[in-house]
Amino acid sequence: MVRSAQASVVGAGIASRTACCIVFACLLSAWSPRAPALDPALDASQYGHTAWKVREGFSKGSITSFAQTPDGYLWLGTTSGLLRFDGVRTVPWQPPVGSSLPENQVRSLLAARDGTLWIVTLRGLASWSGGKLVTYPRFDDLGMNGLVEDRDGTVWISAESPGGGLLCSIRLGKPECAGEDGGLGAHVTSLYEDSNGALWAAGADRVWRWKPGPPQAYPVPGGMVGSMQDLSEAATRTVLLLTRDGIRQIVGNRIEPFPLASMPRSARPTRVLRDRDGAFGGCSKTAKGVSGSRPMKASTVFARSPR
C-alpha cells in the first residue's frame, strides 16, 4: 500500500499534495462526461465559485477521495467516514441498522455505471446500492490501492497481501484474485483501462497488459513511482507510465521516453492524467528553493495538448 507522509514532514508536503489535488479536481471536472464545457475565452477568475472549508465544519476529517453517482450526489471519502454532498451541504452517511463499513477511514471511491458506489476503506471493501450495503470479507485487512470499472462492468482492485501484490476482479458479486503465488511482485498499485478496452496494471518494477488475451508483462528499468495514478494515455493512444526515471511510453514491445517539453528537467512527476479532449497533464514535485541546506518542495503542473 502507498503510505502517506508522517506527521513530522507534513509541512511542505501538505501544500504540495493540496496543489496536486486542486489541479486534478479541475482536470477530472473537465474530463467527466457530466461536466458542462467551459468558455475558453474566460479566465478562471471570471467564474463564480463557492468554497466549503473544513475549518467551518464541512468535514470532520481530511478528504481522501470523491466520486459522483448517476443520481447527482457527490460522495466524499474522509478519514472519519463517508459524506454525501448535494451541492449545498454535506450529510454524514449512515449505514443501515445492523451493518457497517469495514473501517471508517475511507481510502478511495468508485461510482460504477449501474449506480453502485464502491468504497475502499483502510481495512476492507464495501459497495452501496439501492439502500443495501455489501461487504467483501475476501478483502479484509488487505492493503488496497487502485479501483476501476472496465467497459464490461467488472470492477478491478489492485491490492497487496503478506504474500505480495494482488489483482482482483468482482463480477456479479464474486471476487477472484491473481497473484496469491507471489507472481505479481511486492505490490500492484495503479490500474487503467485504455481507449481500446485493454486493462493495465502497474507493479513495483513492471507493468502488465492484463486483458484482453493472456497477460503480458513489460519490465520497467528503475521501477514505477508507486502512486495510484502511475498510468495514463497519450492522444495517440500510447499508454504512458510514470517511472522513477520520468514519463515513459509503451511503443510496440518497448518502453521508450515520452517527450514533454513543458515539464522542467528537475520535476519528479507524481501523478498523470489525460482529459476527454486528449490533453495530457500531471503534477510533480520539484526543488524551488533552499531553507538552510534542505531543498523545499513545491508543486509543478505540466501539460501537453493533443496535436
**Per the domain annotation, does 286 fall within a domain?**
yes
**Per the domain annotation, does 142 fall within a domain?**
no
pLDDT above 50: residue 119? yes
25, 97, 178 from 275: Cα distances, Å: 11, 40, 30
Q: What are phi and psi of 44, to 5 degrees?
A: -55, -35
Q: Pairing relation of β-strands 81-85 and 74-78?
A: antiparallel
Q: What is the pLDDT of residue 25?
A: 45
Distance between CA atoms of residues 112 and 70, nearest Å: 9
Kind plus residue range of the DSSP H or E element containing 247: strand 246-251
**Per the domain annotation, does 281 fall within a domain?**
yes
Distance between CA atoms of residues 137 and 146, nearest Å: 18
pLDDT tens per residue across span 264-282? 555 555 555 555 555 555 5
Domain that holds residue 32: 9-36+270-307
**Per the domain annotation, does 228 fall within a domain?**
no
pLDDT above 80: residue 294? no
Q: List residues bridging with 201 in a β-sheet.
A: 191, 208
Kind plus residue range of the DSSP H or E element containing 10: helix 10-31
Radius of gyration from C-alpha coordinates of the chain: 19
pLDDT tens per residue across span 146-194? 899 999 999 999 998 988 999 999 998 899 999 999 999 988 989 999 9
Overall number of domains in the chain = 1
pLDDT above 50: residue 20? no
Which of 95, 97, 111 is closest to 148 using CA atoms?
A: 111
**Per the domain annotation, does 45 fall within a domain?**
no
Which of 244, 251, 256 is closest to 285 using CA atoms?
A: 244
**Per the domain annotation, does 118 fall within a domain?**
no
